[in-house]
Structure 1
Amino acid sequence: MGILDITVAGVFTLLIVLLGLQFKSGQGDSKTFFAGGGQVPWWISGLSLFMSFFSVGTFVVWGAIAYSDGLVSVSIQMTMAISGFIIALFIAPAWNRQRVLTAAQFITRRVGLPTQKFYSATFLVMNLFTAGAFLYPVGKIIEVTTGINLNLAIVMLGAFIILYTSVGGLWAVLTTDVLQFIVLTAAVLLIIPLSIDAAGGLNSFVDSVPDDFFNLANDKYSAGFLVAFLIYNTLFIGGNWAYVQRYTSVPSAQDAKKVGWLFGCLYLVAPIIWMLPPMLYRSIEPGLIAPDTENAYLLMSQQVLPTGLLGLVIGAMVFATASSVNTTINIAAGVFTNDVYPNLVKSQRLKPMLIARLSSATFGILAILVAMSVQSMGGIVNVVLSVAALTGAPLYLPPLWALFSKYQTGFSLVTVTISSLVINLSLKFLLGPLFDMELSTAQEMICGVFIPGAFLLVFECTYRLKTPLSILNSVNPARPEVTDERFIKNATPENTHALRVISVGILSIGFIILCLGFLTEGGRFETLTVGIIVFLVGVLVSRKARTASFSSQQQN
């Protein structure tokens, strides 16, 4: 990248950090720090969920599939939209009705403290490696595009994330997620028309790619794989503790449904927009082979974007992935502060907010160390991603099942998780050496989803035959949905402040893009158009912030 590109990326980084630090004050208690006071607007939580699920792997992994296999890459990601709609209908409102800060609190209340300790310890370990796995590829992109040493890039990015996450809590995470959504959308929209023009138009593109390029499924990514991936995503997005936080931090079950609907609608559109550039690059440079296919999106960006805009795209990709990291750090700190620390230390002399900030910083530092160790462990990222497919359902399905079933016990949940993990990981790492066999991608996904499901079904049927529902209802009566009016009133100033910070951020991003439109030689019309649109969005949000502030003053 040139000096202008590096400057743009640097300015964007500074903007995100400074705006995240605006939430240093106002974090009066752990409910505000980890759940936004339980009154986060649904659209902010929905955009944050969307960005938290996003990573640079979207452009690297799925971009490679888009280049090699074509439209099937869109089919794979469209399953996430269906998962979002299922979550909106059933899972998100169920979580919100529990009125808990974390999934760990639900597990404690539902099946007891020992089970919660098991899942909390397992979650914190997995979460740590997940955050490190997200940090590593982002550091790699910074290294490739700027020449900065990989470890230094990881430390710098990790330090920025720790700074605003440990100071501002969930509100800082949510607000920066929204801004990262804006800049990512702007960057992608800039690439599309320039990529179509570079490919000689859509007709030329269609004529130059293989005949099966627009198939919705193929031998490797079959219909069975898509169905299993749909189930996996439903469990992962609906049961991952980091994402559960997005459903529990909004005011009501109806708002939680809207979070899921927004996520699903965005994933109906986003895959087409994201995957089009690497698909178009196939017609420009058809000779890429793995692993170079992973660079298809970045190569297209470098070819079509004028000076300055490449820095914007890189900054968007880096901090969009950072959204996943700050989410994992915040929820890990939330679990430790609310569920682990009180059980470890009986005489709690330290204030909860101090524990919250210290634990956020500690988990961030540990994630940095994991990311820096990836290269020395022989490229563990691919192993982590593969293991995630085999461990996601065993970890998240049992508590999710207990959310809807009164029959499951702590014993059944822990037994299913441990048994499924042992079987799935044995199939992954022992099947080849012992029997000279290897599971395909589809088989890994199917095993990872259906083995724990089968175990839970056996327990469910067994318990239903032994225990009448009337007895369970007397022991565990249904809880009515709780709405605490105190949180609604107390959260209003925080919501208004968040809108003000978001409006300032969007206006600043729009201004930066407009400046680039005047400075760049190519793509000026497209850049100015996108800049004007972003700036107008900022004006609308600013007006909404003023209206909300006036309403708050009237209520007080």
Structure 2
Amino acid sequence: MHSLDWIVLSGYFLVMVGIGWWAKRRVHNAADFFTAGGKMPWWLAGISHHMSGYSAAVFVGYAALAYTIGFAVYVWWAISITIACIVGSIFFAPRWPRLRQRLGIISPLEFLTTRYNLPAQQVLAWSGTALKVFDVAAKWAASAILLNVFAGVSLMLGILLVGGVTMIYSTIGGLWADVLTDFGQFLIQLVAAIALLVATMANLGGISSIFGIWEQLPPSHSEPFAGSLTLGFFLAYCLISTVSYNGGTWNLAQRFIAAPTGSSARKSILLSGGLYLIWPLVLFFPMWAAPLILPGLAQPDQSYALIAQELLPAGLIGLVLAGMFSHTMAMTSSDANAISAVITRDIIPALRRAKAPLTSKTELYVGRLSTFLFIGLSMAIALSADSFGGVLGLLILWFGALVGPIAIPMLLGMLRPFRRCGPSAALFSWAAGLIVFAVMKYVLADQVASFGDNASAVSVAAPILASIVVFCLMGVIRPWRNEESDALIEAINVDLEEVHSTLDADDAGASEGKPTGVRA
């Protein structure tokens, strides 16, 4: 790192804090802090959804997979998310803003009290909050590794630096700060990634290297499924991604909740899916080419950082590092906002029981305090990431395997075919997923390992499949019948603008003496 790189990186951090401080003026109450008042433009929500969907772990853990396995990392990761976004545009994304319109929710779990009951909501809220602490910790650890490679900064100082800056702007500006910094970070990483792409191609002989590198790499590097990234692992992550990117990961649900209408939320997730289909090709090319430029790396997770140092001039190295940090800060700040919403609107009211609801001013204060504490705790866990299997262990196995049991009752609970799945189904499916994960990780570890390259697919898929099966079975064995729950499900299956257009058409028909349709 040259002095110019440090100036660029320092300027980036200052801009992020400045955006957070500017966004503070748009935050007047808890609804503004957590859902941007339901006024977020679809294109901004889509870019923020994309930026909040991955972190610096892509440039560390996924870079290692790209270096050792090749093209399969794009198929496994980017294609699975694109499929998830398409599915979500049909079934899940439009329902989130409808929940805000009908119930006034500002937390992704707030509707579960109506859909199921308070105990089911609390179990999912507490367990999901605990899980997310570990997921965010993995992101801090990945960022610190990058800063260590680039500048020799210790892991502890790196975690404190990146986490501290995120803590400041997230605590001050809430969701508005998150999405506005996401947009700024999107522009920065756009320039940074294209610069490294061009430098890599120039080093390898120009545009022809886009296809030419595959002739020089081992044949397996060009295969869509290779090594541990098997077809089974891809299918497992299609399922995991569908659950995660449609609201099972709460920070992504916040983007949909903040959309004005269901159609806006649908457009935002399709934009995000399109970015996932195209943009990772730019990001991964230097990683795929790394074995040709830096052969025989002992630590492949450093490949992206080392290529940037090798090929880029002073100033651009700092920009690339800022671009990599942007993904982590985008994801972790939005995670903190979502978890803070759950704590403020779901956990604390349950602990207070019959006491009067918090005032709007108090809710805003509690939201900011819980954001601060959540980021602080996740930073502390990041300092001991090795105890949980390192960055990839935290990111893929722990979070990937446990997000399903928590998210299945929430997402499937929105859909009409599962309206008879009640509180028992939610709790039993959650418990089944956690039990299967624990048994496979600590009791049947040797048997799982015997699956070879498919071991990861089995470890990740089994908990979520168990949750889905149990959730559906409980709906048959103990069907849930509740008028308030049924009314909620019916309400979120129709967009308010569709209702209004129907009413307007009926009124117009009545004024002309024509028969009118059935009113919603």
Q: TM-score, normalised by structure 2?
A: 0.86
Task: Determine if the alignment matches structure 1 residue 155 to structure 2 residue 160.
Answer: yes
- Match runs of 1:364-375 below 5 Å: 364-374=375-385
User: Shift of residue 11 of structure 1?
Assistant: 0.9
Q: Is the 8 A contact 1:161 1:322 kept in 2?
A: yes
| Distance in structure 2 (CA, Å) of the matches to 1:102 and 1:474 | 19
Cα 1:454–1:475 shift into 2, 3 Å: closer
Provide Cα deviations, 1:258-287, integer angstroms capped at 9, x if missing partner.
111011100110121111111122222332
What residue is the counterpart of 2:275 in the other structure? 266
AA of the residue aligned to 1:410: P
| Distance in structure 2 (CA, Å) of the matches to 1:378 and 1:18 | 35
| Distance in structure 2 (CA, Å) of the matches to 1:407 and 1:373 | 43
| Distance in structure 1 (CA, Å) of the matches to 2:389 and 2:233 | 25
What residue is the counterpart of 1:191 in the other structure? 196
Choose from 291, 295, 315 the match for 1:282: 291
What residue is the counterpart of 1:178 in the other structure? 183
Give the number of equivalent residue pairs: 476
Task: Determine if the alignment matches structure 1 residue 306 to structure 2 residue 313.
Answer: yes
Tell me, which stretches of 5 or more residues in structure 1 are unaligned? 485-556
Provide Cα deviations, 1:131-160, integer angstroms capped at 9, x if missing partner.
222112212222332233322222222221
- Between 1:259-268 and 1:59-68, the stretch displaced more is 59-68
User: Shift of residue 473 of structure 1?
Assistant: 5.9
| Distance in structure 2 (CA, Å) of the matches to 1:285 and 1:168 | 42
Cα 1:320–1:432 shift into 2, 3 Å: closer
| Distance in structure 2 (CA, Å) of the matches to 1:53 and 1:378 | 22
Q: Is the 8 A contact 1:56 1:137 kept in 2?
A: yes
What residue is the counterpart of 2:144 in the other structure? 139
| Distance in structure 2 (CA, Å) of the matches to 1:206 and 1:170 | 42
What residue is the counterpart of 2:87 in the other structure? 86
User: Shift of residue 34 of structure 1?
Assistant: 0.4
- Between 1:128-137 and 1:109-118, the stretch displaced more is 128-137
Task: Determine if the alignment matches structure 1 residue 123 to structure 2 residue 118.
Answer: no
What residue is the counterpart of 2:421 in the other structure? 408
Provide Cα deviations, 1:307-329, integer angstroms capped at 9, x if missing partner.
11001001111122111110111
Task: Determine if the alignment matches structure 1 residue 384 to structure 2 residue 394.
Answer: yes
What residue is the counterpart of 2:503 in the other structure? none
What residue is the counterpart of 1:354 in the other structure? 365
- Between 1:90-99 and 1:139-148, the stretch displaced more is 139-148
| Distance in structure 1 (CA, Å) of the matches to 2:137 and 2:163 | 10
| Distance in structure 2 (CA, Å) of the matches to 1:73 and 1:126 | 25
Task: Determine if the alignment matches structure 1 residue 70 to structure 2 residue 80.
Answer: no
- Match runs of 1:535-546 below 5 Å: none
- Match runs of 1:522-537 below 5 Å: none
Please state whether the residue corresponding to 2:421 is helix, strand or coil. Answer: coil
| Distance in structure 2 (CA, Å) of the matches to 1:334 and 1:258 | 24
What residue is the counterpart of 2:460 in the other structure? 445
Provide Cα deviations, 1:83-102, integer angstroms capped at 9, x if missing partner.
11111111101222212222
AA of the residue aligned to 1:476: D
User: Shift of residue 165 of structure 1?
Assistant: 0.8
| Distance in structure 2 (CA, Å) of the matches to 1:258 and 1:211 | 39
Choose from 460, 479, 494 the match for 2:491: 479
Q: Is the 8 A contact 1:389 1:448 kept in 2?
A: no
AA of the residue aligned to 1:192: L
Choose from 458, 472, 477 the match for 1:457: 472
AA of the residue aligned to 2:425: S
What residue is the counterpart of 2:239 in the other structure? 231
Cα 1:152–1:391 shift into 2, 3 Å: same
Q: Is the 8 A contact 1:142 1:148 kept in 2?
A: yes
User: Shift of residue 25 of structure 1?
Assistant: 2.2
Give the fraction of aligned pairs with identical amino acids, expressed as a percent.
25
Q: Is the 8 A contact 2:449 2:455 kept in 1?
A: no
User: Shift of residue 472 of structure 1?
Assistant: 5.5
Cα 1:363–1:446 shift into 2, 3 Å: closer
Cα 1:273–1:3 shift into 2, 3 Å: same
Q: Is the 8 A contact 2:61 2:391 kept in 1?
A: no
Provide Cα deviations, 1:409-428, integer angstroms capped at 9, x if missing partner.
11111111112211122112
Choose from 253, 259, 262 the match for 1:253: 262
| Distance in structure 2 (CA, Å) of the matches to 1:142 and 1:171 | 27
| Distance in structure 2 (CA, Å) of the matches to 1:322 and 1:65 | 22
User: Shift of residue 344 of structure 1?
Assistant: 2.2
Tell me, which stretches of 5 or more residues in structure 2 are unaligned? 498-520
| Distance in structure 1 (CA, Å) of the matches to 2:438 and 2:426 | 18
Cα 1:384–1:212 shift into 2, 3 Å: closer
Please state whether the residue corresponding to 2:25 is helix, strand or coil. Answer: coil
Choose from 203, 206, 230 the match for 1:222: 230
Q: Is the 8 A contact 1:55 1:320 kept in 2?
A: yes
| Distance in structure 2 (CA, Å) of the matches to 1:341 and 1:62 | 37
AA of the residue aligned to 1:360: T
Please state whether the residue corresponding to 1:217 is helix, strand or coil. Answer: coil
- Between 1:148-157 and 1:318-327, the stretch displaced more is 148-157
| Distance in structure 1 (CA, Å) of the matches to 2:320 and 2:434 | 38
AA of the residue aligned to 2:337: N
Q: Is the 8 A contact 1:228 1:449 kept in 2?
A: no
What residue is the counterpart of 1:95 in the other structure? 96
AA of the residue aligned to 1:87: G
| Distance in structure 2 (CA, Å) of the matches to 1:230 and 1:48 | 21
- Between 1:110-119 and 1:195-204, the stretch displaced more is 195-204
User: Shift of residue 342 of structure 1?
Assistant: 2.2
Task: Determine if the alignment matches structure 1 residue 295 to structure 2 residue 302.
Answer: yes
Q: Is the 8 A contact 2:432 2:463 kept in 1?
A: no
| Distance in structure 2 (CA, Å) of the matches to 1:432 and 1:257 | 41
What residue is the counterpart of 1:516 in the other structure? none
| Distance in structure 2 (CA, Å) of the matches to 1:411 and 1:80 | 30
- Between 1:130-139 and 1:184-193, the stretch displaced more is 130-139
Q: TM-score, normalised by structure 1?
A: 0.81
What residue is the counterpart of 2:439 in the other structure? 426
Please state whether the residue corresponding to 1:104 is helix, strand or coil. Answer: coil
| Distance in structure 2 (CA, Å) of the matches to 1:301 and 1:45 | 30
Task: Determine if the alignment matches structure 1 residue 323 to structure 2 residue 330.
Answer: yes
Cα 1:436–1:90 shift into 2, 3 Å: closer
Please state whether the residue corresponding to 1:102 is helix, strand or coil. Answer: coil
Provide Cα deviations, 1:67-88, integer angstroms capped at 9, x if missing partner.
2222212211211111111111
User: Shift of residue 381 of structure 1?
Assistant: 3.3
AA of the residue aligned to 2:135: T
Cα 1:269–1:343 shift into 2, 3 Å: same
User: Shift of residue 177 of structure 1?
Assistant: 0.7
| Distance in structure 2 (CA, Å) of the matches to 1:310 and 1:436 | 40
Cα 1:191–1:342 shift into 2, 3 Å: same
| Distance in structure 1 (CA, Å) of the matches to 2:124 and 2:61 | 29
| Distance in structure 2 (CA, Å) of the matches to 1:351 and 1:168 | 16
- Between 1:216-225 and 1:270-279, the stretch displaced more is 216-225
Cα 1:374–1:68 shift into 2, 3 Å: closer
